[in-house]
Chains A and B, each alone.
Chain A
């Protein structure tokens, strides 16, 4: 049990505040009258809606299918009817709406038939496809589709790390899950080990969770190692935990799989167990409700549960609350609209009170004291990145390895000038991303423009050739009427010009309707049909 740990640099010790929510067992939420299931809950392309308003659905029925490679499915949390498929408030820092399926519960909670999988004998790719269709995504926060992570790919995976560090203050959902459902988590880890074909399995749990550690140790077989790691934020960061446990650094811009290590959250392992052994899609997750609430605790919450209802289940916010955070205080974001639902990424609803969460003092200039650099777990120089992000010199900011920043918030936590450093980094990153997007679009436009010019040139040439040939024929027919080739050429040109004018009068037929993608053709057909309908209606109205 004495594995050699490799402490990473930096990190901070914020107050844990785990006690309010980790004392009571996970509670189940009652069935609610309405659920809102966003189709974009994971990293990658949003799921494609499979249902329409008015359709009846059963619990566990797929309502959104994975679209493209990096994507996963979404499912109905209960039985009922689809009220609408439309943009609704979602838990996102922007407060923007996103496409959701709104389900009116019928109270029966009727389920589709669940099919447990014989995972030990199932073909690996079939297993992964099933996992994609069951909607599994990482529950630690990044919500990367799990089926992709279970594909070892070209690089053999030798170590599987189960992340139960839960280093964010206040959050205890993984803690309670490990205490109460350790056996299921271990089974999930067993399935992962099978899919990845790796030998070594490590659980990393911070030492402020002795009960969880004990439960896991009791449940884990001898060939899985449960490691207690010192409490230090952000030891639950994927790269940090990997280094802590193995001493291997995840290469910049890459994933831990590049060095043969795969990391999953313990909550994902639990959901994987349910998906594979019970055949149940990812319908619910454990969410911590804590902070300035009447009865803080953890709730088994169906995906799509409006956060207001979740808050009510925890007895509601106490008087004097000043808003809620989705996630923890270090990496979470302000909830702008309480009707937004719980998604696969929501692990905590933290109600702020003015005493523990006072407004951030006004920022003073950076004095380059270097406290941020000492706290940075990625060994960055945040004050340099800030210096250039603030001046909107993104190239320079990037040269200080802005994209190695994991946005853990350690730098802003220790800053004596109270500078919202991470806000500046997020700003700079999204600006750089936009520029890259613009660049791609410009490149595409350039290619299309050049092609158009090429096409016009080609068409002109083709036409000229055609007329030249026609003229030649005429000339041949007329015999050696004009022996002068110069005159003939002039005549051909004249004829060509006349022909062009005639064509122009008739209206040129552009040739860019060829080779259209099927989708666009379909769209045109639809629009035409719609236009006809509308036109008919309009005419009818006039008459």
Chain B
């Protein structure tokens, strides 16, 4: 139990997928202009990532094994694409507004390197099934956390007197850098 908790805290804070592993920067920059969109994106990614972690672990362990290891990336991508496709239909039905604001970023969860990265890291770290699920959930929660906080910051930044050359994505990148600086404070917390 403590092990799972450590994995969770570790992936959410210490080794945050965005802030310390620098994965998933595309949606992090792209879907953080509005707080509500960011929350929706976070929820969608959490769903996809947790499911993908578990499924890909099962596939890796029971279908691929050692001899078919070369199919890992391929099959993971297929699984992720399937889950994303499902999520897309689900969101389109339940929240058309969210579907529209997420726009291209929703299908792009497929190519979100964080979503592929976490199942691959699971294999690398030789996580068991539950560990993989927790690792996926933690990574996704960490992603959602920074995405949502970052979106709230950007909403305020939007109205700031940022000098012209730094406006828009530029100052957002700088802010992300400073966020990352702050997250370094968690260094040494686990392991």
Contact = CB atoms under 8 A, between A and B. Distances in A.
Verify whether A and B have any Cβ pair under 8 Å: yes
B182 interface: no
Interface string A339-371: 000000000000000000000000001000000
Contacts of A365: 161
Interface string A415-428: 00000000000000
The interface residues of chain B, by DSSP majority, are classed as loop
A400 to B, nearest CB: 12
Contacts of B155: 396
Interface stretch (A189-197, A223-231, A387-395, A448-456): A387-395
Interface residues of B, number: 6
Nearest to B161: A365
Interface in B143-163: 155-156, 158-161
A216 B156 CA distance: 52
A108 B42 CA distance: 81
Interface in B108-123: none
Interface in B138-191: 155-156, 158-161
Interface string A373-387: 000000000000001
A396 B156 CA distance: 10
Contacts of A396: 155, 159
Nearest to B156: A387
B92 to A, nearest CB: 25
A393 B155 CA distance: 11
B162 to A, nearest CB: 11
B55 to A, nearest CB: 40
A393 B34 CA distance: 13
A424 to B, nearest CB: 12
Interface in B64-109: none
Contacts of A387: 156, 159
A387 B155 CA distance: 11
Contacts of B156: 387
A390 B156 CA distance: 12
A288 to B, nearest CB: 41
Nearest to A389: B159
A313 to B, nearest CB: 49
Contacts of B159: 387-388, 390-391, 393, 396
Interface in A219-265: none
Contacts of A388: 159
Nearest to A392: B159
A518 to B, nearest CB: 46
A393 B159 CA distance: 8
Nearest to A397: B159
A369 B156 CA distance: 16
B126 to A, nearest CB: 48
Contacts of A393: 158-159
B133 to A, nearest CB: 38
A393 B156 CA distance: 11
A314 to B, nearest CB: 46
A387 B160 CA distance: 8
Nearest to B155: A396
Contacts of A390: 159
A393 B157 CA distance: 12
Contacts of B158: 391, 393
Nearest to A387: B159
A388 B156 CA distance: 9
Nearest to A388: B159
Contacts of B160: 391
A271 B96 CA distance: 57
A390 B159 CA distance: 8
A474 B155 CA distance: 74
A52 B42 CA distance: 70
A46 to B, nearest CB: 38
B157 to A, nearest CB: 10
A276 B60 CA distance: 92
A346 B160 CA distance: 39
A365 B160 CA distance: 10
A387 B161 CA distance: 10
B158 to A, nearest CB: 7
Contacts of A391: 158-160
A535 to B, nearest CB: 59
A396 B159 CA distance: 10
A388 B160 CA distance: 9
Interface in A118-164: none
B140 to A, nearest CB: 29
B51 to A, nearest CB: 34
Interface string A388-418: 1011010010000000000000000000000
Nearest to A386: B159
Interface string A312-329: 000000000000000000
A359 B156 CA distance: 31
A187 to B, nearest CB: 54
Most chain-A Cβ atoms within 10 A of its Cβ — which of B158, B159, B160, B161?
B159
B33 to A, nearest CB: 12
B63 to A, nearest CB: 50
B185 to A, nearest CB: 24
A393 to B, nearest CB: 6
A390 B158 CA distance: 11
A391 B157 CA distance: 11
Nearest to B159: A391
A508 B155 CA distance: 57
Interface string A487-503: 00000000000000000
B38 to A, nearest CB: 16
B159 to A, nearest CB: 3
12 contacts: A365-B161, A387-B156, A387-B159, A388-B159, A390-B159, A391-B158, A391-B159, A391-B160, A393-B158, A393-B159, A396-B155, A396-B159
Pairs A-B, 5 closest by C-beta atoms: A391-B159, A387-B159, A388-B159, A393-B159, A393-B158
Interface of B: 155-156, 158-161
Given A390-B159, A393-B158, 7 more contacts: A365-B161, A387-B156, A387-B159, A388-B159, A391-B159, A391-B160, A393-B159
Interface of A: 365, 387-388, 390-391, 393, 396
